[in-house]
Chain A
Amino acid sequence: MLWLFPTAFLILLGAVPLILLLNSLRPRGPRLPVTALFLLEKVLRERPMGRRLGWLWHRNLPLILQLLAALAIITALAGPALLGVGAGARDWVVVLDQSASMKATGASGVRFDAAREELLRRIDGLGANDRMMIIGAAAEPVVVQPFTRDRARLRRTAGELDATDAEAPVKEAVLLAHTFLKRQGPHRVVVITDGAFKGIEELPWATSYLELAQVEGGADNVGILGFQFRRVPGEADEYEAMVLVQNFTERPAHAPLVVTVADRVVSRSLLSLGPSAREVLIYGVPGPLRGRATALLAIDDDLQTDNRAYLSFPDERPTRVLYVGPGNPYLERLLRYFPHVTLARIDRIPEDRVTEQVAAYDVVMLDRVPAPPVERGNFILMGTVPEGLDLRVAGVTPRPVLASAVSAHPLAAGVRLDGLVVRDALTLVPEGGVTLAGSESGPLIHAVEKGDLKALVFAFDLTRSDLPFRVSFPLLVRNAFSWFRPASREFPASQVAAGLPFVADVGVDEEQLVFVSPSGETVPVQTRERTGTYSDTEEVGFYQFRGTRGDGEFAVNLFSEEESRIRPSYRAEPAEAATAAAESAPGTRFDLWPVLVVLALALLLAECVVVCRTRRSLLPLWLRIPAAAVLVLALVNPRMLAEEPELDVVMAVDLSHSVGEEARARAADVLERAQGLVNPKVRLGLFSFARRPQWEFLPTDELPVSDLPPPPERDATDLAAAIQGALGELSEGRESRIMLISDANENRGSVERVLPMLRSHGVAVWPYPVSLAEGRNEVYLSEFAVPSVVDSGETFEIKAALTSAGASSANVSLLRDGRVIRSTRRELAPGANWLSFTDSVEQRGTHTYELMVEAEAGADVLAENNLLQGIVSVKGPSRILYLHGPDAARRFMAEALQAQGYEVVEKTPARANLTLPELSGFDLLVLDNVPAYQLSQVKMERIERFVRDLGGGLIVLGGTRSYGAGGYYRTPLEQTLPVEMRPPVRMELPHVALLFVVDKSGSMGGGPFGTTKLDLAKAATMASAELLNPTDEVGILAFDSNWEWVVPFRQAGGGESIAEDVARLTSDGGTDLLKAMVEGHRALAAEEAAIKHVLVLSDGLTEKADLVEQVTRMARERITVSTVSIGGDADRRLMTQLAQGGQGRSYATVDPRTIPQIFTTETLLISRDLLVEKTVTPVALGVSGPMRGLTGQPLPQILGYVLTHVKPGAEVHLRVGEDPLLVSWRYGLGQVYAFTSDVSGRWGRHWVQWPEFSRWAAQTARLSVRNVSDHRLRTDFVREGETMSAVVDLFSPSGRPLNHLKLQGLLTRADETLQEETFRQVAPGRYQTRFATPSRGINLLTVQHPAVVPPPVPPVVSSLSMGSAASAVAFTVPFIVPFSQEYREMNANQDLLERLARETGGKVLRADTLAEDLKGLFTADPDAAGSVRGIWWALAAAGLGVFLLDLALRAFLHVRRVR
């Protein structure tokens, strides 16, 4: 009753002075003559005080009662709910786990029964004002009961619920439940579950708003987790059956397993499963498979659902063929022998019936008849060419001679056409497609594939050639049929997991399918787009469906490890329950008006009694009777008297990315218009949604100002959750409507599931379509298909679909590995436009294809959806990426490897991007004298991951710019290598005086915070100081336009104080290097070190005068100078001159992050004898490995090497003196070899001239190169909304499915984070894993079969429990996650919106008639049931009025009487 505030309330409060006035108007009673007044006065005088007060009370009792009664009514009218008195109204959202594991039976009964009892108990325990909502967590979370206080209703709902056979996302349901919780208050989500669901540990049970009510019962289970048949590839009628059984108990289990096909037992075995063991059982089954297959595990465990598995083998629908022509005996005879083919024959096909015929038949053969234009369908054309194919007839060629034939095309498999004789043929000019056989004048047999159109074109009359007499003819036709209808016969049985929708393919003219569930429930399903989707598969067993064209059957199985593991993975701790019990005092809404009205009524009656006792005249009191009667009536709160129905409109605004700001603008517009339309009878609520709904305000008649903050996670649209969100806050007794501002492009959940609820609650949906495109044209890439694996040199097809809302044109560019290889301009028709490209790649490895669309100006809105990527893996020999310094003259190693047959890609570090997808195309990476500072930190990290996670090999060859001398110290590269750069500390006399001259001028301060050049210089000097021996002298001189000793020369041992001093440096001022150099010269000259070195870090933008002379002077005094020029704008020439003059080295870097490496390199170089340049003979340790077969003879000498130190766990193969020369270890999945000498003319002169050099190189490469599986494999990635599943089919080289493998997957996401996955065998030779869909981009999945022996793993990798051994790695597959579904469809799904409106009784709002439509929306349906409302307040007000009238009349009568 907020509406009464404040004006009406104040007016009503006027009743109080009115009563006082009436009371004072009334005279002090009648004049009564008395004779003994003096006695009375005596009595009055003698009265005690207490009695006097009592008398005062008594005397004014009626007035007091009147005032109290009036106040009670007024307060009642004022909406006393605001007082917040009364029992606390709490919102309870109960999530009831309906997953299959709830069917587990224990000693105490079925879990779900216990859960239902718990629910009933909680319903009984509800406070008077508590509301409860029930969310059933079945295959999808569904609000089965919106908020209500009606306990009977709740109890009824609880009784109707039952456990399903499906895997239930309870966590999702809990998250959904939380969207219904008000933010403040003692509201709570209660999860009634057995605690056996995924992600239970992640939920915040310790919080006060989430409570776990755990039911017990049963723990032992042995279940079938998989059951599938697969045709053995290459074998026509031979199948393998797989049954996956897991023991979820802690003790061994024994049970007979029976597999039957069509009631025939194909296998009967006694299973013995160890504790927690999982077993894959494979049976060979001869075909053909018909009817039903079941696997039955005869065990009496606590969960029965998973002891049976079902499969259904549908009868294949025959291929319907229409022959149009004069008759072709060869063809007709051939087709009769084809199984599953029905042939119809007509003489000619009328043009207007082409579409009809194409829809009715699977294949249409046109033989020498004038062909109508075709757009879609499957055609075999003989001697005729219709319009629509990219073929032109240019006459007739007599006696064409076969010139070329293709064998790679699927149509041509096994077909040999040499010597084909054709009398005459049409001269065809192809504009697309593949010519299977052609003469010099054009194609003879041609295949065209264009979107939905497939055609095999014979340019000649079959009867006028010898083709029908050839063996190839039936092959060609059969190939054509399987090309037309690529039926997935590999897995003959159709089944879905419980809870997942089953999609039945239907003919184009079928409009309805009738599904019959195992329990006999019949559900008709409207088909859409040639499919009928049945989603209510929450029961395991066989489902049948009937259509006009035939019947079908499919099986539903549980097959969920999560559900079969019925032992709870989490237990509520008592402490948590205690926390949950501690509750804050509620301060919430409670309708006090009935109490107040009762109070008023009582007061009025009391007053009546008092007045009656003291008055003789009862006349005015007659009015009291109607007043009391009216109040009693108010208490009854009659509802049917409501004149106008009442309405709640909930505005649900889609703020997902696909609509975004448009929807917000519309919502703001509607809100503004709605201001004038809402009133207490018509209220408006508002919430926004994307992935989840988020209430802005509940239905109210006083619209608060709202700027609609977007809900989190806008990358998905879940209409079902949104509608459930609105349903959750339904007000009882009010008509409710949902105004849905959305494009209805749902990509999560399904509105289908909530439609029944909408209907049963009578909630109409009024959609207001909105779309980002908003009528404008939108062009996007809807499909992009590339083959995942091709042979080197194989020509393959790339198909793409460009969807455009309207006619438009666009530039389409196809890029391979970032380079444009095709670019065309396409006219786009509305709808999908299919593009096709052919390409072939020689290079082995992965190649990224990208398709980019640039629509003409104004024809496109979103850019996000104009690019799709695909990855093609090209099979071929092992590939090696060979990185070498830019100045390397000859790459002997590369030459040797190439000679060994490896494909070597040589690059300089700067030109190699070294992205993981790029690297994944190589099997070995060779770094030949590559300094770390030429590789960025990122690149080195990727090299590490290439080795560790992708199993790539790494060989590092030394040289003067490698290892310590190459700045490997403290880099990921050093981490990867089996040797480390920093030698153990040697305590010696000081012999190094190192001076850092660091530029701190303003130009050094650029860059992001923490990574400015100066910051990096600081870090570098600190790291360098650490490298020095503690007794060495180090000094830091900073300069700008002046110089400053940051660290005067001191012993390097005081590292910490140096760090402090360095940290003080700030960048400022100009640049004058010369002054600093002069000062540095002075200081160094005073030092007595053997080696005096200056390292200048600057961008070189300084006065050049005399600098070179200065360094030359210093060099003469044996003070060497090295320079580091930093930044793209650095004066590198000057810096190089300085280094030359100072007899030092010059470094240049653009990336300031390499400064530390340069500094440490310099430090190591000058402080250590890192480069050992002497002639030594390597000593081989061990006879295996890279030196196998090479140790019997003397090894060639080397002339030098870089000093390194062996890490623990590494294997040394070659050694020079005490120092390692060739060391290897396994790092993660990969093998790393470090060769510390060079393979060039400087140190390895003898080594490369060694006759066995190429053998050594090959052996080293072979040992380090990634293991490539010789299995035949196929991988497929299927995106299933939030998750992706990777399916790997593995076959042995002989084509048999590989079973019983424990495949491990390592997923490297596009953002380079790692994730481990375990594959589960789901069918013979098929393994599957599911993971959360990675972010957009190229992701890598490395699949390997882990071996038993864990290898020595560097600490960083050991956190990954990845076993790996020599034979472990199978392969790495890149896959692409395209842009979010959110961006796919930009136009509103008008169909769905209209359907929603139609099926719920709403109306689609239109922008042009918005004002009127809104009026309609905000006008309650007068006939709507339940639109009534209590009118107690009117009655209560009337009661007050009558009462006041009564008082007035009384006063009037008194006045009269006295007068």
Chain B
Amino acid sequence: MAQAEAQHEAHRFLEPDFLARLDKLRLVAKRLSWGVARGEHPTIRKGYSLEFSDFRKYSHGDDLRYVDWNVYGRLERLLLKVFTAEEEITVYLLLDASLSMGHGDPAKLEFAKNVAAALGYIGLKTHDRVGAMGFAGDVGTQLPPARTRGQILSLFNFLEELSPAGRTDLEASMKTFTRLYPRPGLVVLFSDLLDVAGCRAGLEELARKRHDVLLVHVLGEGENRLDPDGDVSLVDVESDRERRVFLDGDLAERFHREVEAYFDSTRRFCESQAMDYRRTTSHVPFDDFVLRYLTQDRRPG
């Protein structure tokens, strides 16, 4: 099914509609600055060019260096010049391409692809280096980070061809990734985090290697719960393991609570590691997700 969908949407990323949505995102991103936690990681940010982007009112404590004194001369108003830092960062788009990602409606992987495409596009437009990798049991196909003009097309092709296969092993995959790309950057990790071994080790690995992590936790709609339906045969999509259970309300509820607890623990882990954790379902339009991500205040507190 996932295969067929991929075929069908072969050049999805090149469709004008998609591209238009990407452009729109880029414009937003342009205005808002993309960059993850600017000023948070100054040491790793090297801004060569300050590109003016806007004015804003001065407020107490602002660096007087950035006051536009010309304006003050003319208007006697303290306006602060707002610059967009032109930072060159590497954005790694890591997509969980395990079989479980092929599920959901639409498939979680497709959602991840769309978001990855959007972020990659934005990144490239803002002159960041963007690379992409699919992983399941280990890192699979890779698109090395680059800031070339053709990189966007390469990304699109890469994403296009990415299809779900294999079982998730987050830890192994992350270790391979950090070994291959030791340079810290922004890691956008698309996964459903449904790893039998848990996702903690993999995420720790990223944190250890000083990667800035955006965890996009993709779930299918209603994937976190099961409807009580009496006798069912539950088949694991990754291992084909089948389990016959009598699914009653109680069991479903407990399952739901277990799933939530698992996700919750992951989220809290991410917070403790100062990772950005975003949970979404696959049926959310990717552009909404991206937009919300880009516009919302990401810093809690």
Residues of A within 8 A of B235 (CB): 31-34, 37
* Contact yes or no, B103 A59, CB < 8 A: no
Out of B231, B236, B248, B262, name the residue touching A34 (CB < 8 Å): B236
Contact between A51 and B250, CB atoms less than 8 A apart: yes
- B 271-288 to A, binary, CB cutoff 8 A, 1 in contact else 0: 000000000000000000
Chain B min CB distance to A63 (Å): 11
Minimum distance in angstroms from A46 CB to a CB of chain B: 8
Q: Are A33 and B237 in contact (CB under 8 A)?
A: yes
CA distance A27 to B259 in the complex (A): 27
Interface string of B129-162 (1 = CB under 8 A from A): 0000000000000000000000000000000000
A39 touches B233 (CB 8 A): no
**Residue in A32, A35, A51 whose Cβ sees the most chain B Cβ within 10 Å:** A35
Contact in complex: B251, A43 (CB < 8 Å)? yes
Question: Which B residues are in CB contact (< 8 Å) with A37?
Answer: 234-236, 239, 241, 243
B223 with A35: CB separation less than 8 A? yes
Q: Which residue of A lies closest to B238 (CB)?
A: A35
Q: A32 CA to B224 CA in the complex, in Å?
A: 14
Is the pair B254, A32 in contact by a Cβ cutoff of 8 Å?
no
- Contact A29-B229, Cβ < 8 Å, known A35-B103, A51-B250: yes
A1300 to chain B, nearest CB (A): 104
CB neighbours of B241 from chain A (8 A): 37
Contact between chains at A34 and B234 (CB < 8 Å): yes
Chain B residues lying within 8 Å of A55, measured Cβ to Cβ, are 246, 248, 250-251
Contact residues in B for A38 (Cβ distance below 8 Å): 194, 196, 236
B211-260: which have CB < 8 Å to A?
220, 223-224, 226, 228-239, 241-248, 250-251, 254-255, 258-259
A434, chain B: closest CB distance, angstroms: 115
CB atoms of B262 and A39 under 8 A apart: yes
- A contact residues around B239 at 8 Å (CB): 37
Complex Cα gap A615–B232 (Å): 11
Question: In the complex, which residues of chain A have a beta carbon less than 8 angstroms from the beta carbon of B262?
Answer: 36, 39
- Chain B residues 87 to 109 lying within 8 A of chain A, measured CB to CB, are 100, 103
Closest to B197 in A: A38
The distance from the CB of A619 to the nearest CB of chain B, in whole angstroms, is 15
Among B192, B231, B235, B247, the most chain A Cβ lie within 10 Å of the Cβ of B231
- On whether the beta carbons of B194 and A28 are closer than 8 Å, the reply is no
Q: Contacts of A44 on B, CB cut-off 8 Å?
A: 245, 251
Interfacial chain A residues near B196, Cβ < 8 Å: 38
Closest Cβ of chain B to A1139, distance in Å, is: 117
CB–CB B226/A40 < 8 A = yes
- Chain B CB within 10 Å — which of A26, A28, A616 has the most? A28
Q: Known: A41-B243, A42-B258, A43-B258. Contact between A32 and B232, CB under 8 A?
A: yes
**In the complex, residue of chain B having the shortest beta-carbon distance to the beta carbon of A1458:** B233
Interface residues of A in 1135-1193 (CB under 8 A from B): none
Residue of B100, B234, B248 near A32 (CB, 8 A) is: B234
**Least CB distance, B240 to chain A, in whole angstroms:** 10
**In the bound complex, do residue A30 and residue B233 qualify as a contact, i.e. CB atoms below 8 Å apart?**
yes
**Contact between chains at A614 and B223 (CB < 8 Å):** no
Q: Is the interface of B mostly helix, strand, loop or mixed?
A: mixed
- Chain B residues within an 8 Å CB radius of A43: 251, 254-255, 258
Docked Cα-Cα span, A612 to B134, in Å, equals 44
Q: Render A7-43 as a binary contact track against B, CB cut-off 8 A, 1 for contact.
A: 0000000000000000000111111111111111111
Complex Cα spacing A51 to B220, Å: 30
Shortest Cβ gap from A620 to chain B (Å): 13
What is the distance, in angstroms, from B185's C-beta to the closest C-beta of chain A? 29
B62-76 interface (Cβ within 8 A of A): none
Cross-chain contact B229 with A614 (CB below 8 angstroms): yes
* A36-B194, A37-B241, A43-B254 as given contacts; A614 in contact with B234, CB under 8 Å: no
Contacts of A47 in B (CB 8 A): 254
Q: Is A58's CB within 8 Å of the partner chain B? A: yes
B104 to A, closest residue via Cβ: A35
Q: When A29-B244, A34-B235, A55-B251 are in contact, do A614 and B103 touch as well, CB less than 8 Å? A: no
Min CB distance A224 to B, Å, is 91
Complex: chain B residue closest to A34, CB-CB: B234
Residues of chain A lying within 8 A (CB to CB) of residue B230? 29, 59, 614-615
Decide: B233 and A31 in contact? CB cutoff 8 A: yes
Complex partner residue of B231 from A28, A33, A41, A51, CB under 8 angstroms: A28
Residue of A nearest to B253 (CB): A43
Whether A28 pairs with B233 at a CB distance below 8 angstroms is yes
Smallest CB gap from A37: residue in B: B236
Contact of A39 among B232, B242, B245, B259 (CB under 8 A): B259
Query: B247 to chain A: which residues have CB within 8 Å?
Result: 29
In the bound complex, residues from chain B placing their C-beta under 8 Å from that of A39 are 255, 258-259, 262
Shortest CB distance B130–A (Å):
29
- Chain B residues within 8 Å of A58, by CB: 246, 248, 250
Given contacts A29-B231, A35-B100, contact A40 B237 (CB under 8 A): no
The answer to whether A40 touches B245, judged by C-beta atoms less than 8 angstroms apart, is yes
CA distance A34 to B243 in the complex (A): 10
A28 & B244 in contact (Cβ 8 Å cutoff): yes
Cα distance A757–B255 when bound, in Å? 77
Contacts of B258 in A (CB 8 A): 39-40, 42-43
Known pairs A32-B235, A40-B243 / 15 extra A-B pairs, C-beta < 8 Å: A29-B230, A32-B229, A33-B235, A33-B236, A35-B100, A36-B255, A36-B259, A37-B241, A40-B234, A43-B255, A55-B248, A59-B231, A59-B246, A59-B248, A614-B229
Cross-chain pairs A/B with CB under 8 angstroms, 15 sampled: A29-B232, A31-B232, A31-B233, A31-B234, A31-B242, A32-B226, A32-B235, A36-B194, A36-B259, A38-B196, A39-B255, A39-B258, A40-B255, A41-B243, A615-B230
Interface residues of B (CB under 8 A from A): 100, 103, 192, 194, 196, 220, 223-224, 226, 228-239, 241-248, 250-251, 254-255, 258-259, 262
5 A-B pairs with least C-beta separation: A29-B231, A614-B230, A59-B246, A29-B232, A37-B236
A residues within 8 Å of B by Cβ? Answer: 26-44, 47, 51, 55, 58-59, 613-616
